Structure 1
């Protein structure tokens, strides 16, 4: 039976009738392209005088935020920005960065938020690749942007016009930007020249691009991931649901807004008429102070942020006014960190995803029957990645060659794969990479995991991070989890070190807690006491770990260091 017809049986005549569906129409009455722009418009009506953004002494209401975003969009069109143009931003979590998430799409343009930890050479590469027409730059990163534009000017690419964002919080100690303002267009002046009666340039198709996000480059050079209005709309609402964000929340910005557009909560908080508390610099003290001052209900962050909170000195800690909901993701959180967060009064929800899935793609949904389990068991379950959220159609663990699902036996490893409306449009200007990522009708994450009997998935490693030693697969995540449970360890990362006999052996890079001491012998013994011996590190290096701006350890750098060490066994056998 086709979609155009349905059948009905008359019980009296036992005769089959066909009811025509030709009366169906698709028009403006029953179809509007989905876009998170609508969240801002609604909140400006429903929560008109509610506080939308706080940054030190700066406060805006939802009515003011809509007006400022309309002015911004108007000013951009006056500057020649048109539908589909890319507008870049190089800024931390400040009000202007929040407004750009609405103002740029309202001008019909595509927002490209750049990682503030990149160097000028990489910024120039991304500006060239994205063909950004304008770049908004926070004053703290002006020199970086200038250097990038200078590099770009030496190529045939036309450099973007630079708009300076001055410090809006006058209570903050800042460098003077007066001399800079005279040289560049300035954000507030740009907003002031726009019109509030600007007619929003809405997407013609909900699959039109809304943002361009470059991958964090933990394993290779960044790729330009294109998000659609539709995907952003759906993932924003999914993120609201999985974060247990109710009406009028107070959200503390500890996740960089430039990373997956703040896991889509730049738009999600607007959907609920919440208050965005901006943090230019994230610190444990800043987190506790903000929670106490603004009565924060929700926040997020990679496990490194959680680690910062649980290891905060007593002088920086403040009692929580109530239980604060925290979403974590970016790397599997160590059980010990989750347990300590719980002790402090935070409720942690573990989500998992990639830049290609708009940030969160799964959630480890908690079940009441797990409340009675011992603390360590609860923490183990909470560190799993769970199942797809409501915005994603499906997540599965498959054999990457046969594309068959692995059995839910908690031991057979396969590749994590996604499909659904919250998977990227593709990689900008890289059809081959897009085609490869979508081979077999699923998005291939490159992450390896297992499936538990209840269907929940658990990551075991990146396919590039798994260590194969003497033919045995070693999950670096499992080894790192044990290292994190050591009382002296603050941070840890494990990579494979080349070995003439075993192929590879685990090499641990460790950062100790302040005031704590340990030795490589003691760390190795601790791991051997808690793991099968072949999984225990055979090398321990004490140093700070290289990180991306979102807190992920850059293992490719550590792999190079381990490789430079050479073989440990030098061709001889070694008893494990």
Structure 2
């Protein structure tokens, strides 16, 4: 979030523009506003390695706050703005924030924080002129401080919480480097090489900035002097319209966005110009093979993929050409060496799925306030770490994801990987979204259940269930086929694209005491 020399090179270039409101900041305005906030942070006594929290929708001043924290050596936690009072307050309190920034749009939730978060001393609200105590107006406060840089700027860094799709969210705390914020970071080099990002690009941000992928892409973009268009929320046709209007060169998406644009009527898809695109990067969730192939057929060889966790312990990536030569891969190791192991810690050969470990990457992360989870993620040697995914390598070292460990179905003693079944179901023309997981079964232990969001809101009929059953039988081994189908109006996906599968799965297990 630190543009550095870009402010002097092109102060009047638009740095950020909100896609809906069209509110914007030039590089000079972003720099001066961030400096005011940074001076405020110093004035209230925040020092290097202290912590703040941000509970906002996508907003210009959300970026300003993060940019200020990165000039003061602070940890900052952007919080999922769709959480309930209890869920969000847990994160505010757990991270040890001394200050919280929210918005008027989120005050219905944020007003419940003060009584639950006693560690917070300062409360700022964006877009409210006279908020009730203890909240103060963001602009009224920061305008009292100078737009000049704070003395001895030090780099701050985000501390993200997991999405909580498999349990209560935990913070991934990485080491805070003691460097000036204008030093070139490894993330910039990665963005240039892995995401094909370049100086002066026009970048379209499609997802919430509380997630590490979108947030880091914005950070890289500002360091490269980009003009960044931020969508307040993803709109399928609106995404295509913005690409054409702004002649977007780079964007980052999640696979569900691909699925949605592919299922638009052809007359809508064909009415927009995408020829400006140089790189469309996707990650955060597995992409069904057919969906990616269809996007490559449509937009050409501009689809790039990455795989990695918030832990930053290892990263993979692949170009369009590499994917076409190895369909289904998430790429080869870009940072760290991939090792596939079984449950006993033995290395596995090519083609055999097991737990994905990274050796030689960043193993210095910790899960805040959870030493047991931290130890579980680390190899005793201290040289390898994992994030809980299952996959395998082919003979050429390309990684293929199988599933999350938490969602493997064990039916009759056989491991079944839901991701494979979901990837198939999403390609059916009558399916908008799909989730597959195990449900209790008296004889087999678990049975395969599919929950479907039909393309037609009224299409969840027994006839569709029969068609989907036949579709699965045509493409999958019998033991992998769902034994039953349920229908849902809208899948509980996070805006980052991750499926909140635990919410679905727990309904089927709530009356069962599992061993």
Task: Provide the C-alpha distance between the structure 1 equivalents of 2:278 and 2:236, rounded to a whole number of angstroms.
Answer: 15
Task: Provide the C-alpha distance between the structure 2 equivalents of 1:296 and 1:312, rounded to a whole number of angstroms.
Answer: 20
Query: Is the partner of 2:4 in helix, strand or coil?
Result: helix
Are 1:329 and 2:288 counterparts?
no
Equivalent residues of 1:225, 1:356 under 8 A apart = yes
**Structure 1 counterpart of 2:126, from 165, 169, 173:** 165
Task: Provide the C-alpha distance between the structure 2 equivalents of 1:421 and 1:193, rounded to a whole number of angstroms.
Answer: 43
**Structure 2 counterpart of 1:355, from 310, 327, 337:** 310
Task: Provide the C-alpha distance between the structure 2 equivalents of 1:194 and 1:472, rounded to a whole number of angstroms.
Answer: 63
Give the superposition deviation at 1:199: 2.8
Give the superposition deviation at 1:274: 0.5
Question: Given the superposition, is the C-alpha separation of residues 101 and 138 from structure 1 closer, same or farther in structure 2, using an over 3 Å criterion?
Answer: same
Match of 1:399 in 2: 342
What CA deviation, in whole Å up to 9, does each residue of 1:380-424 have, x standing for no partner? 9453221222xx2222222242342x211x2x1111112445556
Q: How many residues align?
A: 497
What CA deviation, in whole Å up to 9, does each residue of 1:85-106 have, x standing for no partner? 2111112222112222221121
Q: What stretches of structure 1 of length at least 5 have no aligned partner?
A: 1-35, 167-176, 371-377, 568-576
**Structure 2 counterpart of 1:534, from 479, 485, 502:** 479
Match of 1:222 in 2: 169
Task: Provide the C-alpha distance between the structure 1 equivalents of 2:228 and 2:152, rounded to a whole number of angstroms.
Answer: 25
**Structure 1 counterpart of 2:321, from 358, 367, 385:** 367
Give the superposition deviation at 1:340: 3.0
Query: Is the partner of 1:461 in helix, strand or coil?
Result: strand
Are 1:464 and 2:410 counterparts?
no
Match of 1:127 in 2: 92
What CA deviation, in whole Å up to 9, does each residue of 1:409-464 have, x standing for no partner? x2x11111124455562122323322221123311221111111111011111111
Task: Provide the C-alpha distance between the structure 1 equivalents of 2:213 and 2:290, rounded to a whole number of angstroms.
Answer: 29
Question: Given the superposition, is the C-alpha separation of residues 227 and 293 from structure 1 closer, same or farther in structure 2, using an over 3 Å criterion?
Answer: farther
Match of 2:434 in 1: 492
Are 1:213 and 2:164 counterparts?
no
**Structure 2 counterpart of 1:108, from 53, 73, 79:** 73
Structure with larger Rg: 1
Match of 1:77 in 2: 42
Match of 1:418 in 2: 358
Match of 1:17 in 2: none
Mapping 1:273-312, distance limit 5 Å: 273-312=225-264
Equivalent residues of 1:349, 1:382 under 8 A apart = no
What CA deviation, in whole Å up to 9, does each residue of 1:308-335 have, x standing for no partner? 2222354586232433522111221112
Are 1:438 and 2:378 counterparts?
yes
Match of 1:117 in 2: 82
Are 1:194 and 2:145 counterparts?
yes
Q: What TM-score, normalized to structure 2? A: 0.89
Query: Is the partner of 1:285 in helix, strand or coil?
Result: helix
Give the superposition deviation at 1:548: 2.6
Query: Is the partner of 2:159 in helix, strand or coil?
Result: strand
Match of 2:502 in 1: 556
Question: Given the superposition, is the C-alpha separation of residues 323 and 83 from structure 1 closer, same or farther in structure 2, using an over 3 Å criterion?
Answer: closer
Match of 1:250 in 2: 202
Aligned-pair RMSD on alpha carbons?
2.7
Query: Is the partner of 1:88 in helix, strand or coil?
Result: strand
Task: Provide the C-alpha distance between the structure 2 equivalents of 1:323 and 1:381, rounded to a whole number of angstroms.
Answer: 23
What CA deviation, in whole Å up to 9, does each residue of 1:327-349 have, x standing for no partner? 11122111232233234426321
